[in-house]
Amino acid sequence: SYDAFMEALTIYGLVVALALLFANPFV
């Protein structure tokens, strides 16, 4: 369903954003 897809996409986006945020100072 569309809602489930958007929810998964939002969670994936948050995970990626957090990963970039934590990885950035160490680059």
CA 17 remoteness from chain centre: 5
Domain range for 18: 1-27
Q: Which helix (H) or strand (E) holds 23?
A: helix 2-23
Q: Which residues of the chain have pLDDT under 50?
A: none
pLDDT of residue 10: 97
Burial of 24 (0-12, 13-18, 19+ CB in 10 A): exposed
State the pLDDT at residue 25: 73
Number of domains comprising the chain: 1
Distance CA 14, CA 20 (A): 10
Closest among 21, 22, 1 to 9, alpha carbons compared: 1
- For residue 27, what pLDDT is reported? 60
